[in-house]
Structure 1
Amino acid sequence: MTVRAEQRVIEPRPWLDSIRPYHPGQHAASDDGSLASNESPLGASPHVARAVAKAASGAHHYPDPLAGELCEELARLHGVAPEQILIGNGSDELIFLLAWAYLAHGGHAVCADPAYRMDEISSQVVDARLTKVPLRDWTHDLDAMTAAEADIAYVVNPHNPTGTALGLPAIECFAADSKARLLVVDEAYIDFTDDPDATTAIPLAREGRAVVLRTFSKIHGLAGLRVGYLVADRRIVATLRKIRAPFSVGALAQAAALAALGDPGHRQAVRRHTLQYRRALTELVTRAGYHVIPSQANFVLVQAPDEDALITRLAAHGISVRPGSALGLPGTVRMSVPTAKGLHLVEQALA
């Protein structure tokens, strides 16, 4: 007779029970109607497909573990040493690396409320304490955040989901006055601000006074390939390299990112389109009777007391958007900047 062994069950660490899973935006039936995920309305540079096809012939080789060529290119772009750049599998991987290195086992982070979900989730995963400071006038309340004696202070600039942005002088004052030991500025949407050069915290990262996160998902349209990077003090980069998976960024993604950097014309076209259609979308939604939070990103946040009614109205015309209740701001709806056809769909839905 065979005696069946009792099934062993292992329980996850107890602090993981409190994590609310991340739920991404949903795609609509058409790309033009998919306004839930802040994807590039113009897609990637045509150079990207050619670079990926060429790189695919070497798919049997492991990729460069540190994406050296891409690091060199980004170092030139930002005026820093290559040792100050770390490439990641999207900026989300880098957020988790920062949490593992500087928050694990009882660390403390401070951020805005609502937080970018990956800042929140990564803090919970490593059993850190997270202080969320409510927004003031739809933007970061840096004065209140300054008082938090934290290991990391997260500033998402422009903020997601409001789209509001702080100028570099405000970030510099916060860096000087904050009691946090490390300032992390997430600039996923920096290219869509009215004046990126006057907004970016790269000068602080250059001096080792902040960590700046960037992504290829937005302005470059590489959301499906997962490439991000950070600019920081060499010591921080060296620490994160030790705990980063050695091949986390694939060869095709590295080739795509290099091709995207090599096409500044496409990048400028995406920026022009975004600024033009952000204004058009804001005017259209405002004429329909809604209030729109002034945005510096590739999306707008619409105040809608009955958000379900607005979401249903848009869905009837093949448009998907992001409910504010899923982003920590009930009574709002976040809409990505659309294509020309997408804007027409919105116009029909709100007519």
Structure 2
Amino acid sequence: MTIAARPWLDEIQAYRPGTRSASVDGSMASNESPLGASPTLGESIARALTGVHCYPDPLADELRGELARLHGVHPDQILIGNGSDELIFLLSTTFLAQGGHAVCADPAYQIDKIGALSVNATITQVPLRQWKHDLSAMAAIQAEVAYVVNPHNPTGTTRTRADIEAFTAASPAHLVVVDEAYIDFAPDPEALTAIPLVAGGRVAVLRTFSKIHGLAGLRIGYLVADAAIIAAIRKVRAPFSVGTLAQAAARAALADTGHRDAVREHTLRLRGQLVDLLASHGLHAVESSANFILVPVLDEDAFVTDLRTHGVSVRPGSALGAPGTVRISVPSEAGLELLRSALNHAYPATHRETSDHR
């Protein structure tokens, strides 16, 4: 290569996605919905196919309108992105580029960290306290942007809306970005969401269609924020970043509330069974409000390898900034049985682990 990358990119460790197993049911490394997308999507996408020779609606106005009604905000307070990850990069470009400072948890959601470093910003990571965001310590950091992932990835833990409101008041950060990718799996999503705090102008909320709606392969998410924040980000956003088919699928997914409710019910029920199964093998998970759990283990590499040998893939914690743990997505019914069999073969119930707490 005759051209050199910008020197600050040397600080970035490339994102490492989860590994798939030989079967869909055994793939528990990427927090994908085991129930898939709404069955109504096929018809909606088929209708949209007739228009794929044209550029998509640049701002996804119809979808923005539906989301605005859902969340009780103005459409100008919503920006649709090519997954919430694109929106994180856009936030970095708009508010952190060339010398900005961000603060987040340690471990961080990896894209928050990569996005900041990619624009030559500084990022300060504050260690979790008892597996949760240490908001008091984060509030002591001077920064333009503070990231609060709630529920947190990779732990699944949460802080209350009151906690985030108090943090916003105490923090010198100009903008608090609350990533709610997994909020639909919390016990009471409406009580937890920070969207009511957006009206104050210093809070922005990220959501995704990848998890509860099962649209990870179509890449669509959105940001809810003050209209001035949205307008600033639009200046650097690619005009057609969200395709026609993704927009049609997202509208259909919103309309199918029955499927969304079924995914939520399945996730909460299987999450409890997953926790119990692991506990029977002496593995004690961090309390989670997401569609995954984090489990401290004595030998992370051996645990991941042993399960893979028996047809189950899980995410090594070291890839997520949490060495000594594994992250396991809530599986399908068949997947839970695969995991049960894998544990029985590779990790007998007579073996006992001890978990540490951060």
TM-score bucket of the superposed structures, by smaller chain: over 0.9
- The within-5 A match list for 1:56-95 is 56-95=49-88
Residue 221 of structure 1 aligns with an amino acid whose one-letter code is G
TM-score by length of 2: 0.95
Q: Give, as a single letter, the amino acid of the residue that structure 2 aligns with 1:328.
A: G
Shift of 1:236: 0.4
Query: Partner amino acid for 1:69?
Result: E
* Offset, 1:50: 1.4
Within a 5 Å distance, the mapping from 1:24-35 to structure 2 comes to 24-35=17-28
The secondary structure found in structure 2 opposite 1:297 is coil
Q: C-alpha deviations, 1:56-111, integer Å up to 9, x for none?
A: 12110110000000000000000000000000000001001110010000000000
2:323 alignment partner, one of 324, 327, 330:
330
Aligned pairs for 1:104-119 within 5 A: 104-119=97-112
Aligned residues: 344
**Percent of aligned positions with the same letter in both sequences?**
65
Q: Using the alignment, how far apart are the partners of 1:220 and 1:207 within structure 2?
A: 29
What is the Cα deviation at residue 18 of structure 1?
1.6
3-state secondary structure, aligned to 1:62: coil
Q: Which runs of 4+ in 1 moved over 3 A?
A: none
Partner of 2:8: 15
Deviation sequence 1:122-181 (CA, Å, 0-9, x none): 111100010000000001000000011100000000000001011111011001111111
Q: CA deviation at 1:10?
A: 2.0
2:32 to 10, 23, 39: 39
Deviations 1:309-339 (A, max 9, x none): 2112211221100001111111100000000
Residues 1:279 and 2:279 are matched in the alignment: no
Shift of 1:268: 0.4
Residue from 219, 225, 229 that aligns with 1:232 = 225
Alignment of 1:244 onto 2:259? no
Q: Does 1:192 align with 2:189?
A: no
User: Cα offset for 1:198?
Assistant: 1.3
- Answering whether residue 43 of structure 2 is matched by residue 50 of structure 1, we say yes
- Could you tell me whether the CA contact under 8 Å between 1:79 and 1:206 is conserved in 2? no
1:139 maps to which of 132, 139, 147: 132
Q: Paired residue for 2:256? A: 263
Q: Would you say the 8 A contact 1:206–1:231 is kept in 2?
A: no
State the shift of 1:9 in Å.
Answer: 2.3
Deviation at 1:49, TM superposition (A): 1.6
Give structure 1 stretches of 5+ with no counterpart.
Answer: 1-7
The aligned residue for residue 123 of structure 2 is 130
CA positional deviation for 1:255: 0.2
Secondary structure, counterpart of 2:306 in structure 1:
helix
* Partners of 2:174 and 2:202 within 8 A in 1: no
- Deviation of 1:51 after TM superposition, in Å, equals 0.9
**TM-score, with length taken from structure 1:** 0.97
SS of equivalent to 1:229: strand
Match in the other structure for 1:301: 294
Structure 1 pair 117–14 and aligned structure 2 pair: CA distance change class (3 A): same
